[in-house]
C-alpha cells in the first residue's frame, strides 16, 4: 500500500475517520485497505482497538460498496474509538457514496 500516493486521493472526512480512495489504474480489480491511527489518538491499546474496529468495518462494507481496483485508507480520528459501531458503519457507507459521485 502506497500511503503517500493515497494522500493525494479523493477524501471523505467523517466524525470518526477520514476515508481516502485512490484508483490504482493497474488493471488489478482487487481492493486494498490501509489503516492509519496516530499516537495523538491514544496509547497502543486504544490504537489497536481502533484498527480492529476499522478492519471489521471494512470486512462488512467494502466487498459490496468499495471501489474495485482502488486503495482504501482509513485514518482514525479522536472521536472514532468511542463512536457506536453502527454509527461508524453508516459513516463509512455515506463516505463511499459521497466519493462515488
Whole-model pTM: value is: 0.90
- Kind plus residue range of the DSSP H or E element containing 23: strand 17-23
Query: DSSP letter string over 24-51?
Result: --SS----EEEEE--TTT-SHHHHHHHH
Query: Which tens digits make up the pLDDT trace of 34-90?
Result: 999 999 999 999 999 999 999 999 999 999 999 999 999 999 998 888 899 999 999
Question: For residues 86 and 1, which has the higher predicted lDDT (pLDDT)?
Answer: 86
Domains delineated in the chain: 3-100 (3.30.230.10)
Residue 9's pLDDT band (cuts 50, 70, 90):
confident
Amino acid at each position: 500500500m502506497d500511503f503517500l500516493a493515497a494522500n493525494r486521493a479523493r477524501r471523505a472526512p467523517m466524525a470518526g475517520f477520514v476515508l481516502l480512495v485512490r484508483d490504482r489504474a493497474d488493471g488489478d480489480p482487487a481492493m486494498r485497505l490501509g489503516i492509519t491511527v496516530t499516537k495523538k489518538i491514544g496509547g497502543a491499546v486504544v490504537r489497536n482497538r481502533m484498527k480492529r474496529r476499522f478492519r471489521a468495518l471494512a470486512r462488512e462494507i467494502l466487498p459490496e460498496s468499495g471501489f474495485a481496483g482502488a486503495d482504501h485508507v482509513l485514518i482514525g480520528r479522536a472521536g472514532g474509538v468511542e463512536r457506536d459501531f453502527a454509527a461508524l458503519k453508516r459513516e463509512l457507507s455515506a463516505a463511499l457514496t459521497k466519493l462515488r459521485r
